[in-house]
Amino acid sequence: MKLQELKKVLAANPAALVRFQLPNGEFAPAHAHVTEVARIDKRFIDCGGTFRTDSLCRLQTWFTDDVDHRLTAGKLAKIFSKAESVLLTDELDVDVEYETGYITQFPLGSVAVANNEIIFHLTERHTACLAMDKCLPPVAARSDFDPMKFKFTETPSAPKCCA
C-alpha cells in the first residue's frame, strides 16, 4: 500500500484507533504505537550484476505496559506531516516493523475501517531472484516422449549389429 493511500484513510477517520493485524490473523496489542517513521533507501547489486534501488516508508511499532494510551489516526497523520521532509514523497510503499520474538518487517497490504478502528492488514514478505534470466539454468528442451503412447506389450526388436 502506498503512503498517499494510507494518509487519505487517516485524514478521513482522525478519531479512529489504529490496530495492526499480523499475516497470521493475530493482532498486535491494542496499545501498540508507532515510535518511528522512516524512509528506507536500499542500493544493491542483484545476483545477475544489475545495480538496483528501492525506497519505502517504514513504521516502527512498539508497546509496553502503558495500556491506557492508544494511537489515533489523527495523531499518526500528524507524525506523517512532521516526517514529510524525511519521506520526500507519498509514492512510497509502507511496511511495518514489529517485534514477534524477533524484529521483522511486514508490508502493509491494506487498511480497513471498522468499529472506530483502522485495521492495518500486514502481509508477508518473500525473497525472489531478480535476475532469473542470468542465474537459472536454461529450460530443458521438451522431449517428444509421451508415456501415454508407449506400448508396453511390444518387445523392442534386437539390434542387428552382430548378424
User: Confidence band (pLDDT; 50, 70, 90) for 134?
Assistant: confident
Q: Looking at per-residue confidence, does 3 or 153 come out higher?
A: 3
Cβ count within 10 A of residue 56: 18
For residue 85, the model assigns a pLDDT of: 97
User: Confidence band (pLDDT; 50, 70, 90) for 95?
Assistant: very high
Whether the Cβ atoms of residue 132 and residue 33 lie closer than 8 Å to each other: no
For residue 151, the model assigns a pLDDT of: 65
As given in the structure block, the three cell numbers for residue 51 are 545495480
DSSP helix/strand/coil, 87: helix
pLDDT at residue 148 is higher than 70: no
Residue 144, Cβ density class (10 Å: 0-12 exposed, 13-18 middle, ≥19 buried): exposed
Cβ count within 10 A of residue 6: 24
For residue 29, the model assigns a pLDDT of: 92
Quick: pLDDT tens for 64-83: 887 877 899 999 999 999 99
Residue 5, Cβ density class (10 Å: 0-12 exposed, 13-18 middle, ≥19 buried): middle
Beta strands in the chain (DSSP E): 17-21, 33-45, 51-62, 93-99, 103-114, 117-122
User: Confidence band (pLDDT; 50, 70, 90) for 140?
Assistant: low
Buried b (16+ CB within 10 A) or exposed e, 121-132: bbeeeeeeeeee
For residue 135, the model assigns a pLDDT of: 77
